[in-house]
Chain A
Amino acid sequence: MAVDVLTPGAEQRIERLHRVWRPRPGVLGWLTTVDHKRIGLLYFFTTLAFFGAGGIEALLMRTQLAGPDLNVVGPETYDQLMTMHGVTMIFFFIIPMTTGAFGNYLVPLMIGARDMAFPRLNALSYWIFLGSGIFIYVGLFMHRAPNCGWFCYTPLNRRAFDPGPNVDFYALGLIFNSIASTATALNFIVTIFKLRAPGMSLNRMPLFIFAMLAVSLSLIFALPSLTADLVYLELQRKGGFHFFDVAHGGDAFLWQHLFWLFGHPEVYIIVLPAFGIATSIIPTFSKRRMIAFPLVALAELLVAFIGFGVWAHHMFATGLPTITLVAFAAASMMVVIPSTIQVFAWTFTVVLGRPEFRAPLLFIGGFIVFFVLGGLSGIMFAAIPFDQATTDTYFVVAHFHFIIFGAAVFPILGGMYYWFPKVTGRLYHERAAQISFWLTFFGTALTFFPMHIVGLLGMTRRVYTYKPHLGWDAYNLSETIGSFILAAGLLLIFANLVWSRFRGAPSGPDPFRGGTLEWATSSPPPEYNFAVIPKVTSPYPNWDPADREDDARRLQAGTLVLEEGHETPAVTVRDGYLDEVLRMPAESPWPVVVGLGVALIFTMLLLSHFVLASVAAGLTLFALAGWHLQEPELE
């Protein structure tokens, strides 16, 4: 709070809030925590570990491909590395990093709430996510990791062609993981609808919140088709069912349709949080509001919506009827409209503002560059003949890495710098941060740009090696060099943050003069986030000094301080009128216990011990009963 002098009354209230929200100390406190900030940090460190693993897998592949006919890893290992790299980066890094870490930490702070709508479910999401990550990585350590590529097409995924547990690790691991993503998405939707600070009507929500809402809605409607697909796959592999098997009336396209019906919205699930981060960083460092605010909000939701109607453009080379292809090509072109609206809005906000090119804004600049380049090659794919000529070549790999690494990960990296002072209370090292940007920027360009060329020269994706004299050697070598430069840049970011955590200068609550509410509280925020539930009259509440002074006055008066228990206000969905004061659950051991139960169920399913899986399900039910015996009002 921007309060200089506290009256004794206000001090007493803050003292009481501290007492009510004080966490349990030590490891037990982390195991039982339901605090969205702690869960966000758990997510952050876990996903960072998976990012490291996925990065090492990528470097191993790039080393293998540095020259022709190398034998650093064999073909079987290469298949596992390639599949695990894709699965890890998508399901165990980007989604949990953006929703689990950034979303968890920031959504309640930005909307002026004290926690998520379902704090225990939030904790459960984390434990299930952790369990699913360990589950699928056990496969890698046993050298039995998924080896069929991240979309694992049938018939390759059938028992006859892939008899080991590799594909079962993939299918069960991803079902396991999608429980966590669904729970997180549900939690965000309800939190955003119901827990906004009074006064924050829907049109006053920050654009980051619009992006998180769009992501959550996409997850809710996209994941079921993946789940169904994977359930069919396991029923076919373990139960002898026939879904994809033509000889018994099944259909191989069924797998592809359902996979991409999930898989394309998934692409927007990956980049939408990046849009949200960009729309947080740009106004702060340009010192003005986003231009075309309502259009940008609409575009974020529209991208998510259109994402559901374009899946067959991943199947242009499969022999679907031409009329189908044309319809999907047209739909794919449509994505250009909301994307372009956003690109112009981002750029012109910087141009019309007074930009200060500090590291977070540099990363957003890199993001815009790669988003435009990757978007342009994306439009090329919407042209059916071009797609059919380049399908399954490195051109595709180049395109989606510009989008997934350049456009989705750059804002994550910029966001790490941007919110680092908020989370730690210390400033990062600016010079080192700027160097790290240029390293990652050139590393990314050097790694992925030549892939366009080798792709056009005919190099197919997923090959573990290639012959010399095809004209591919120099490009591949430069890609490998680029990937190591990129890795150095990432390591420099990591080193900067670790160093700054201990040696950085104190940042104060609001070092960058941000416009959203997370900057209205101290750094790091207290357990209860805000000493008084903030007043909101615009989408940039922290730029309304009168409202912040009003907060200070209300803290003295005790209006909406809610220091009696774990309390936070709930509002009406559209207008954000105060509706009731909710009693929120405190720390609970049950989420981690239920998470263990779910892990046990999936382990038994993997081992085909179906009776033991049912026993584990029964035990999990008992744990759920324990969970619901703990009612917040009775504590």
Chain B
Amino acid sequence: MSADAARIDRSRAAKPNGWWGMAVFVATEATLFGTLVGTYFYLEFTNPQWPPPGIPDPKVLAPLLLTAALVATSVPVQVAYSAARRDRVRLAQLALVVALVVQAVYLALQLHLFLDDLDTFSPNASAYASIYFTLVGAHHFHVVVGMLLEAWLVVRLVTGLTRYRLVGLQATAFYWHFVNVLAVVVLLTQISPAL
């Protein structure tokens, strides 16, 4: 069955339904983030000072380094998919675990920064704080969802590869690349006042 799934995957001329489903989902998600980023700049343009008085400029270095690390995990995720296509299930699992470890460290440090920010200024303080926490929080939530998908696939691959799981892996990889693009967009938005 395992070899069968990989063979069918390689013989397909078009992308599978699962990939298309994820592509459409990503389109609607991208629009959602477009709205969030749009809101950020819309509010910036209607405010005389951004961030408003009393709120420090956003941190730059730590989020920058962390985002670089997160973006790098696109590589092991893609490796996992290519390995699975060649029916190398264990390698696929290994690559996913590597990605998961880096992403977990990223998330832990980001949450630390998030809580630190919450101590400095509250989302109830101003429109700036409201959209700042909403935007950054929405991105962290997407990272969590991606990690859950990967963890699920690692577990499911223990009993081998099926077409369903392989398409799931392909869609998850696509989702991760998207989350990483978002990470860059959100980062640039978030640090824009300090640039």
Contact A220/B42 with A194-B14, A249-B52 known, Cβ cut-off 8 Å: no
9 shortest interchain CB distances as A-B pairs = A249-B127, A224-B32, A241-B130, A224-B31, A631-B164, A240-B124, A228-B35, A250-B127, A572-B14
Q: Least Cβ distance of B161 to chain A in Å?
A: 11
Chain B: interface secondary structure?
helix
Task: Let me know if A632 and B164 touch, CB within 8 A.
Answer: yes
Contact of B127 among A187, A190, A251 (CB under 8 A): A251
Number of A-B contacts (CB under 8 A): 127
Q: Which residues of chain B from 1 to 52 have any CB-CB distance to chain A below 8 Å in the complex?
A: 1, 8, 11-17, 20-21, 24-25, 27-29, 31-32, 34-36, 39, 42-43, 46-47, 52
Taking A189-B24, A249-B43 as contacts, is the C-beta distance between A225 and B127 under 8 angstroms? Answer: no
B152 lies within 8 A of A625 (CB): yes
Query: B27 and A220: CB pair below 8 A?
Result: yes
Partner of B14, one of A248, A250, A254, A573: A573
B31 near A221 with CB under 8 A, answer: yes
User: How distant is the Cα of A250 from the Cα of B13 in the complex, in angstroms?
Assistant: 50
In the assembled complex, 16 residue pairs joining A and B whose CB atoms fall closer than 8 Å, in A order, are A117-B20, A118-B17, A190-B17, A190-B21, A224-B29, A225-B35, A228-B35, A249-B128, A250-B130, A258-B39, A572-B14, A573-B14, A577-B13, A580-B11, A621-B148, A628-B168
User: Does residue A227 face the partner (Cβ distance < 8 Å to B)?
Assistant: yes
B162 with A582: CB separation less than 8 A: no
Residue from the set B15, B35, B128, B163 with the largest chain A CB neighbour count within 10 Å: B35
B97 close to chain A: CB less than 8 A:
no
For B125, list chain A residues within 8 Å (CB).
248
Q: A631 to B25, alpha carbons, bound, how many Å?
A: 21
Per the bound structure, the CA–CA distance linking A224 and B27 in Å amounts to 10
Q: Is residue B126 contacting chain A, with contact meaning CB distance below 8 A?
A: yes
A580 with B8, Cβ < 8 A, contacts A228-B36, A621-B148, A633-B164 known? yes
A residues with a Cβ closer than 8 A to B are 117-118, 121, 182, 185-187, 189-190, 193-195, 220-221, 223-225, 227-228, 231-232, 235-236, 239-243, 245, 248-251, 254, 257-258, 261, 570-573, 577, 579-580, 582-583, 621, 625, 628, 631-634
Verify if B123 is at the interface (C-beta below 8 Å from A).
Answer: yes
A197 to chain B, nearest CB (A): 15
Q: Are B152 and A220 in contact (CB under 8 A)?
A: no
Give a binary string over B113-143; 1 marks a CB under 8 Å from any A CB, 0 the rest: 0000000000111111111001000000000
- When distances are taken between beta carbons in the complex, the residues of chain B under 8 Å from A258 are 35, 39
- How far is B157's CA from A469's CA once the two chains are assembled, in angstroms? 78
Q: In the complex, are the beta carbons of B32 and A227 less than 8 A apart?
A: yes
What's the nearest-Cβ distance from chain B to residue A392, in Å?
25
Would B21 and A186 count as touching, CB distance under 8 A?
A: yes
Using A225-B35, A232-B39, A254-B42 as known contacts, say yes or no to A220 and B13 having CB atoms under 8 A apart. no
B residues with a Cβ closer than 8 A to A are: 1, 8, 11-17, 20-21, 24-25, 27-29, 31-32, 34-36, 39, 42-43, 46-47, 52, 123-131, 134, 148, 152, 156, 162-165, 168
A224 to B134, CA, bound (A): 15
B124 touches A239 (CB 8 A): yes
Contact B127–A242 (Cβ < 8 Å): yes
Q: Which residue of A lies closest to B11 (CB)?
A: A580
Contact A193 B20 (CB under 8 A): yes
Extra contacts besides A189-B20, A242-B130 (7): CB < 8 Å: A223-B28, A248-B125, A250-B130, A254-B39, A570-B16, A631-B165, A634-B162
Q: Which residue of B lies closest to A571 (CB)?
A: B14
Chain B min CB distance to A486 (Å):
36
Among the interface residues A121, A249, A257, A261, which one has the most CB atoms of the partner chain B within 10 A?
A249
Chain A neighbourhood of B12, CB < 8 A: 579-580
Verify B14–A570 contact, CB threshold 8 A. Answer: yes
Interchain CA distance A553-B153 in the complex, whole Å: 44
Are A182 and B28 closer than 8 Å at their CB atoms?
A: yes
Known: A190-B17, A579-B12. A220 touches B47 (CB 8 A): no
Closest to A577 in B: B13
CB-defined contacts of B27 to chain A, threshold 8 Å? 220-221
Indicate if the CB atoms of B25 and A633 lie closer than 8 Å: no
Residue of B nearest to A228 (CB): B35
* Distance between Cα atoms of A239 and B122 in the complex (Å): 11
Q: A224-B35, A241-B123, A570-B17 are in contact. Are A249 and B24 (CB under 8 A)?
A: no
Residues of B within 8 A of A634 (CB): 162
Instruction: Determine if B24 and A190 form an interchain contact, defined as CB atoms under 8 angstroms apart.
Output: yes
Q: Of B15, B28, B129, B164, which is in contact with the most chain A CB atoms at under 10 Å from its CB? A: B28
Residue from the list B126, B156, B164 in contact with A242, Cβ < 8 A = B126
Q: Give min CB distance, B41 to chain A, whole Å.
A: 11
Cross-chain contact A251 with B42 (CB below 8 angstroms): yes
Partner of B43, one of A190, A251, A631: A251
CA of A85 to CA of B163 in the docked complex: distance in angstroms? 46
Q: When the two chains form their complex, are residues B39 and A186 in contact, meaning their CB atoms are under 8 A apart?
A: no
- Judging by beta carbons under 8 Å apart, are A194 and B127 in contact? no
Task: Report the nearest A residue to B4, measured CB to CB.
Answer: A633
* A228 touching B123 in the complex, CB below 8 Å, given contacts A235-B130, A579-B13: no
Query: Which of B8, B128, B130, B164 gathers most chain A CB within 10 Å?
Result: B130
A608 to chain B, nearest CB (A): 16
CA–CA, A240 and B25, complex, Å:
30
Residue from the set B21, B156, B163, B165 with the largest chain A CB neighbour count within 10 Å: B21
Residues of B within 8 A of A187 (CB): 21
Question: Which of chain B's residues has its CB closest to A118's CB?
Answer: B21
Q: Is the CB of A248 within 8 A of B126?
A: yes
Q: Is the CB of B20 within 8 A of A228?
A: no
A250 CB contacts on chain B under 8 angstroms: 43, 127, 130
Q: How far is the CA of A577 from the CA of B43 in the complex (A)?
A: 49
Which of B17, B31, B134 is within 8 Å of A232, CB to CB?
Answer: B134
How far in angstroms is the closest Cβ of chain A from B131? 7
Nearest-neighbour CB distance to chain A for B140, whole angstroms, equals: 15
Tell me the complex Cα distance, A242–B52, Å.
13
- Complex Cα spacing A206 to B43, Å: 45
Instruction: Collect the chain B residues with CB atoms within 8 Å of residue A227's CB.
Output: 32
Distance in angstroms from A318 CB to nearest chain B CB is: 14
Which residues of chain B are within 8 angstroms of A572 by Cβ–Cβ distance? Answer: 13-14
